[in-house]
Structure 1
Amino acid sequence: MKRWMLHVGFWLSYLALCILIEYMWVRVALPNEPVGALLPHIFMAPIFTSTPEILFAYYMLYRGSERFMNPAVPHWKSITEILVMFALGVMAVRLTTHYVLGHVAYGGRFAETRIWDPNVILRVVLFLGFSSGIALSIKSFRRQVASRDRENALMREKLSTELKMLRNQLHPHFLFNTLNNIYALARKKSDEAPEAVMKLSELLSFILYEAGRDSIPIAREVNFLDDYIALERIRYTGRLSIEFTRQIDNPDQLIAPLLLLPLVENAFKHGISETRFDSFIRMHLEQKQQHFNFMIENSMERDKPAATTGNIGLVNIQRQLQLTYKTHYIEISETEKTYKVSLYINLDSYGKA
């Protein structure tokens, strides 16, 4: 809404309040006068008395409060100026009510009062302070809201930048591991090396064109994992048992990209390449409405627990979850021979962290 509309709306509301108060006061002061004859005066009186109040309120909004908050202006100067302007406002209101209203609008219907009667002056002070105080309060509230919105925008930008950095951190980590796999195939002069390069091309296409989005369908994330697992199968053929089950109610349900890759990478790196007995990786993914569960378990060397090796990916995913999903938990459990990670996400809590 435009600023001038807010100002007009505020002062019309204030005038309506003043007219109501004037009506109630006149009905008590002049009970025998017909209401119809007094209505023009009841509407006229607040307009005259409110004019000095409006002028003082705008002085406070655009000069008095600004000078008071300005560190370059001594406080005693700004306070003195405000008090002088306030006194002039009180005088203007009182002169208006005494001469214009008392003698012109109401035609001398009221008993004569001293122009500087302390009780009357006190009422004028209260009304003048009330109107300007309300206006200043609204301005202060709007400033606080604007400041909070700016802070929230900066925080969102900061968190978005951090989230992008976390995802970008996965790229060299992912490339390093994958290129190592392809290098190993090339050293063996394996016929599967070209297929591995093709799989890597598909994975890089996903990272370049889809991983930068805020969210993607679960089906795309699962397809990416399938491609990554297929690439790893090429290297570990005959040495690895992989089981990946999934139960997805809505393949189009959105999820933040690359959340699961660090967990799968971690399983291959620490559960397979460093294992001396039959290796396995078991994964189960389940999505039902807003509930998302992912479990991954891998074999592990007895004398080298996975928790003691590099855990860049796990730290990364934990921070990503903190930035993207308010409701989530990740549980890590290990035995002498297995390492297991269980992840739960409430998909409806996206962006509420």
Structure 2
Amino acid sequence: MESLSSRRFMPWVIQALVWSLLGAILLLWQPLTWRITIPMQFWVKQAVLFGMLLAIFYVNTQVWVPRLLFMNRTGKFILYNMVAVITVAVLVQKVEQLIGLRESMENAFKAVRNTGVMRREDWFDYFSLLTALMVIGISTSFAVVQKWQHDVELRQKLERAKIDSELSFLKAQINPHFFFNTLNNIYALTVIDVEASREALHKLSRMMRYVLYDSQQGTVQLSQEIAFAQDYIKLMQLRLTDKVTVLLTPPHPMNDVPIAPMLFLPFIENAFKHGVSATQPSRIEILIRQDGGKIYVEVRNTLFSDKKSVNLEESNGIGLVNTRRRLDLLYPGRYALDVQENRAESEYSVHLELQAV
């Protein structure tokens, strides 16, 4: 929230600095160049010009650009700006004549150099004309850039909302299928091993608490995410035969850092879906390690030749496409995701490198 407010405040700071610089140029550049005693009429003319430039800038950025240029009414936009520029040039020239600036400047030059300005009477003040054109160009560019930034922020918000809805869908998908199957397994386990069924119920309730409450926050601790993955694996193993070996290696020592919730689950879920067999030996290896502020996650599972090609992008759950998009929004430029299918070694692997802090 603080960074967002600072981004909104920054354009006004930039505008204040630019107008201060432009005002200094209008009021000081020519006097310093001429090296004469500047009459009061000159300051009046420059102040009028500065005020008109301010008016043109904000009328253009706030009215003409959004209501004409962005609405594809380009002809009217150009016409209004040209009229404004010419009006400024004419009015400044009229103000100059009204306050007698030409005569005052000629007297000032004569006092120093024994010569006059020798400037003919014009309908336009060409310096004001060029300056107004420059301000029109700057204000149009400024409005276009602001519109572009606003559109980018809006798209990011929409993407975040979509990702949140996809995450909610993932939670909803886990709840009925995974939890009901696990409850059935626990029910069967109560007949065989009451203590083991109690432990399984405890893990299930802890997972439900994580899904329903902890993951509602923007981030969770790495230890929480790993504990959720461990509980998920333990409960999934209730449905597996002894032909399946599952190994999860957490970082040691673990440095708790905040990460996005349920970030590892799509890869682990995919490994269980495609990497286990009831009749053939199979193996799932999950390695999580840390190096400074980076987190490395590696998920490997057996790839069976009799099964169709594994495609995490089309798998159930949040999927690789949505996972990448979620990573793009939450960790832009701070992650690397590599998915490999090695049929020669009968192995499917996912490598995630994440800059958490």
Range into which the TM-score falls when normalised by the shorter chain: 0.7 to 0.9
Which residue does the alignment assign to 1:291? 294
Which residue does the alignment assign to 1:61? 57
* Distance verdict in 2 for CA 1:202–1:64, change over 3 Å: closer
Q: Distance in 2 between matches of 1:92 and 1:253?
A: 66
Deviates more, 1:48-57 or 1:71-80: 71-80
Letter in 2 for 1:209: Y
Does 1:266 find its partner at 2:270? Answer: yes
Deviates more, 1:144-153 or 1:69-78: 69-78
Does 1:157 find its partner at 2:157? Answer: yes
Counterparts of residues 1-353 of structure 1 (less than 5 Å): 10=19, 13-16=22-25, 18-26=27-35, 38=36, 41-42=37-38, 44=40, 46-61=42-57, 66=63, 70=68, 71=73, 78=80, 79-80=82-83, 82-94=85-97, 96-103=100-107, 111-112=115-116, 116-117=120-121, 124-125=125-126, 127-175=127-175, 176-186=177-187, 189-190=191-192, 191=194, 192-236=196-240, 238-248=242-252, 250-272=254-276, 274-305=277-308, 307=310, 311-313=315-317, 314-315=319-320, 316-325=322-331, 326=333, 327-335=335-343, 338-347=346-355
Secondary structure of 1:242's counterpart equals: strand
| TM-score between the two structures when normalised by the length of structure 1 | 0.75
Q: Give 1:17 shift.
A: 5.1
Letter in 2 for 1:14: G
Deviations 1:39-94, CA, capped at 9 Å, x for gaps = xx337464133134224324533557856964599579744565355323223235
Deviations 1:244-297, CA, capped at 9 Å, x for gaps = 22334542133222121122222223333x431234322222211243322223
Q: Distance in 1 between matches of 2:265 and 2:14?
A: 53
Q: Give 1:117 shift.
A: 4.6
Q: Give 1:146 shift.
A: 2.8
Count of paired positions:
330
Secondary structure of 1:231's counterpart equals: helix
- Which consecutive residues of structure 2, in runs of 5 or more, have no partner in the other structure? 1-8
Secondary structure of 1:42's counterpart equals: coil
Q: Is the 8 A contact 2:88 2:129 kept in 1?
A: no
Q: Distance in 1 between matches of 2:303 and 2:217?
A: 34
* Distance verdict in 2 for CA 1:205–1:43, change over 3 Å: farther
Deviates more, 1:13-22 or 1:151-160: 13-22
Q: Is the 8 A contact 1:294 1:344 kept in 2?
A: yes
Could you say which structure has the larger radius of gyration? 1
Q: Give 1:157 shift.
A: 0.8
* Distance verdict in 2 for CA 1:201–1:83, change over 3 Å: same
Letter in 1 for 2:343: T
Q: Is the 8 A contact 1:250 1:288 kept in 2?
A: no
Letter in 2 for 1:333: E
Q: Is the 8 A contact 1:285 1:293 kept in 2?
A: yes
Q: Distance in 2 between matches of 1:3 and 1:346?
A: 35
Secondary structure of 1:222's counterpart equals: helix
Letter in 2 for 1:172: A
Q: Distance in 2 between matches of 1:153 and 1:165?
A: 18
| TM-score between the two structures when normalised by the length of structure 2 | 0.74
Q: Distance in 2 between matches of 1:318 and 1:16?
A: 50
Deviates more, 1:239-248 or 1:77-86: 77-86
Kindly report the root-mean-square deviation, in angstroms, between the aligned alpha carbons of the 2 structures.
3.8
Q: Distance in 2 between matches of 1:196 and 1:181?
A: 9
The percentage of aligned residue pairs carrying the same residue is 17
Deviates more, 1:324-333 or 1:296-305: 296-305
Q: Distance in 2 between matches of 1:336 and 1:225?
A: 29
Q: Give 1:228 shift.
A: 1.3
Letter in 2 for 1:151: D
* Distance verdict in 2 for CA 1:3–1:102, change over 3 Å: farther
Secondary structure of 2:227's counterpart equals: helix
